[in-house]
Structure 1
Amino acid sequence: MTSFGMIFQPTFPPEQLRDTAVAVERAGIDELWMFEDCFKQSGLASLLGAVSATERIRVGVGVLPMPLRNVAVTAMELATIERMFPGRARFGVGHGVLDWMGQVGARVASPLTLMREYVPALRALLAGERLNVDGRYVHLDEVQLEWPPPGPVPVLAAGEGPKTIALVGEVADGLVMTTGSSPEMVRTAVDGIRRARADAGLPEAFEVVVFLMAEFGPGAAERIEREFDDWQLSGERRFAATGSDEAVESMVRQMYAAGATTVLLQSRAHEPDLPGYTAAVARIAERLRADR
């Protein structure tokens, strides 16, 4: 079953988050996600604020930067949220923007090694296991959560290049594809995930969360081109859904056909009418519900 939602970007004031979350829930949209960008809003504090303001929607963070967060602390925070709000929190972890990681003294020499150590440790801690790990980056000595989640908590991870995507397929429960992903990029990533999981003898079932820039109405394509420039996107990554509701809906469906399980619409970073954008996303959600 597919899921659909939108993104509350860290360029929006944090005090607008609760009202946006309530509007998303009232509109019948499945999910609301946030970014954890340095040095803006805390991803998990934002997640908790949105979950506590609502009753039904799932709330996600994509992604929590692994170099910035000790794996035991991340596990403690996520386990606490899961016990308080069962089944409503979603999250992914990732390498983090390398320059930002450097600014805080957390940049690692081998992001792939960190992911290979961090994601399995996080999954094991959330499963209630006691861990002893002495890796290159992850060090745990008889660490076990006192209050683990009562059930499974999927751990998603972000990836772009083929090596990272293959590793995500091997160690995580799902893939987060961030801004600037086309249906063909999604299809290629899904193929890589399937190969990696088959090689590792793992089940094929796997989540794929895709962030899709979307702009509605006349002049949408021109406005989104300026957004591409602000994001410094180039080539195939200058990709978005633009124009009429029909056009945006069609692109969302193409993402599902390519293998996405969750599609999240992303506005411009400085969207001047966030309630209006939420209403536009709600119209797409209503059109998609016809197939569910």
Structure 2
Amino acid sequence: MTTLGAVFLPQLPPERLRAVAQAADEAGLEELWVWEDCFRESGIATAAAALAWTERLRVGVGLLPVPLRNVALTAMELATMDRLFPGRVIAGVGHGVQDWMGQVGARVESPITLLREHLDALRALLRGEEVNVTGRYVQLDRVKLDWPPPAPPAILAGAVGPRSIRLCGEAADGTILTGGTSPEQLVKARALVEEGRAAGGRQEPHPIVVYVHAATGPDAEARLERERIVWGYDSMRDVGVAGDAAAVAAAVRRWADAGADTVVLQPTPDDPDPEGFMRFVAKQVRPMVP
């Protein structure tokens, strides 16, 4: 069955999070995703707050930029959240937007090397292991969590380029694909993930999460067109959907048929009713998605 989620966009002020998360929880939405976009909102702070304000909602952080973060700190934060809210935390890491990383003095020469080192160390720490590593970017000396999770959570990684997508298959437990990924591109990404899994000898399931631009309501087409301009797409036909529940559900099925295990609907930043969007996804779209 396809998992369905929605994004709390960091363009919304943090004080809107509680109402949006609670609307999602009460409506029965499966997953709420938050972002750590520079220089808006912290992924960990927003995820922890959303988890605390809700009862059953799973919360995904997609994604934490590894150049900004010491891997030990990331492991401590994720382990703490996983123990506080067992089974409800979904964690994703990635390169981050390189221009933003440059603005804060964190841009590295080889983002792929950093992501590999971060993933290997992070997954080991969350397994409760003592980690010693002297990498190009990650250095740990006898680091071991006092409070690792009882069972290590899956660590997903986000990627765009083919080398990074292969790395996700090899070194991560799942892959996050950005908004703007068409069904055709998703098929190609799934093949690259499989190449990485084969190279890494990975046998366990590897879920793929994809963001899809979505808008509903009387001005949906206009709002989605503004998103097209912002993101520089030639067309929204294969990267987003505007319309009623039937139209949105049909689009979700397209991405699911192309290989997505989870489709996360990404509303427009100017959506007039973010709480209503969560209810729309959970109450109207979900019943039409297998």
Name the TM-score class by shorter chain. Answer: over 0.9
Residue 271 of structure 2: aligned partner: 271
d(CA) in 2 for partners of 1:237, 1:134:
47
Equivalent AA in structure 2 for residue 66 of structure 1: V
Root mean square deviation, CA, Å: 1.6
Inter-CA distance 218–161: structure 2 relative to 1 (3 Å threshold): same
Contact 1:170/1:196 (<8 A) preserved: yes
- The aligned counterpart of 2:74 is 74
- Structure-to-structure mapping, 1:182-197, within 5 angstroms: 182-197=182-197
Say if 1:228 and 1:238, in contact at 8 Å, map to a contact too. Answer: no
1:184 Cα deviation after fit: 1.1
Moved more, 227-236 or 52-61: 227-236
The percentage of aligned residue pairs carrying the same residue is: 51
The C-alpha deviation readout for 1:29-84, integer Å capped at 9, x for no partner, is: 10000111111111000000000001101001111000000000000000001111
Distance in 2, Cα, partners of 1:162 & 1:20: 35
**Residue identity opposite 1:205 in structure 2:** P
Amino acid at match of 2:285: I
Query: 1:58 & 1:116 partners in 2: Cα distance?
Result: 26
Q: What count of residue pairs does the alignment treat as equivalent?
A: 289
Work out the CA distance in 2 between the residues paired with 1:270 and 1:217. 12
Q: Distance in 1 between matches of 2:237 and 2:147?
A: 41
**Do the aligned residues in 1 keep the contact of 2:43 with 2:64 (CA within 8 Å)?**
yes
User: 1:93-108 maps to which residues of 2 (within 5 A)?
Assistant: 93-108=93-108
Query: Equivalent residues in 2 for 1:1-292 (5 A)?
Result: 1-203=1-203, 205-234=205-234, 239-282=239-282, 283-288=284-289, 291=290
Runs of 4+ residues deviating >2 angstroms: 217-223, 231-238
- More displaced stretch, 93-102 vs 234-243: 234-243
What's the CA shift for 1:183?
A: 1.1
Deviation at 1:237, TM superposition (A): 9.4
Equivalent residues of 2:114, 2:138 under 8 A apart: yes
After TM superposition, give the deviation of residue 233 of structure 1 in Å: 3.7
What one-letter code is carried by the residue in structure 2 that aligns with 1:72?
A: A
Shift of 1:234: 4.7
User: Given residue 230 of structure 1, which amino acid in structure 2 is its aligned partner?
Assistant: V
Other structure's SS at 1:136 match: coil
Counterpart CA distance in 1 for 2:32 and 2:259 is 20
Secondary structure of 1:259's counterpart equals coil
Q: CA deviation at 1:100?
A: 0.9
Rounded to whole Å, the distance in 1 between the matches of 2:229 and 2:265 is: 18
SS in 2 for 1:38: coil
Q: CA deviation at 1:13?
A: 1.1
Alignment check: 8 A CA contact 2:225 2:236 kept: no
Paired AA for residue 61 in structure 2: V
Q: For structure 2, which runs of at least 5 residues remain unmatched after alignment?
A: none
Task: Name the CA distance, whole Å, in 2 between partners of 1:222 and 1:266.
Answer: 15
**Secondary structure of the equivalent of 1:175?**
strand
CA contact (8 A) 2:183 2:238 kept: no
In structure 1, C-alpha distance between the alignment counterparts of 2:179 and 2:27, rounded to whole Å:
24
Unaligned stretches of 5+ residues in structure 1: none
Q: Which TM-score applies when normalising by structure 2?
A: 0.95
Normalization by structure 1: what TM-score? 0.95
Q: Which stretch of structure 1 is more off in the superposition, 67-76 or 242-251?
A: 242-251
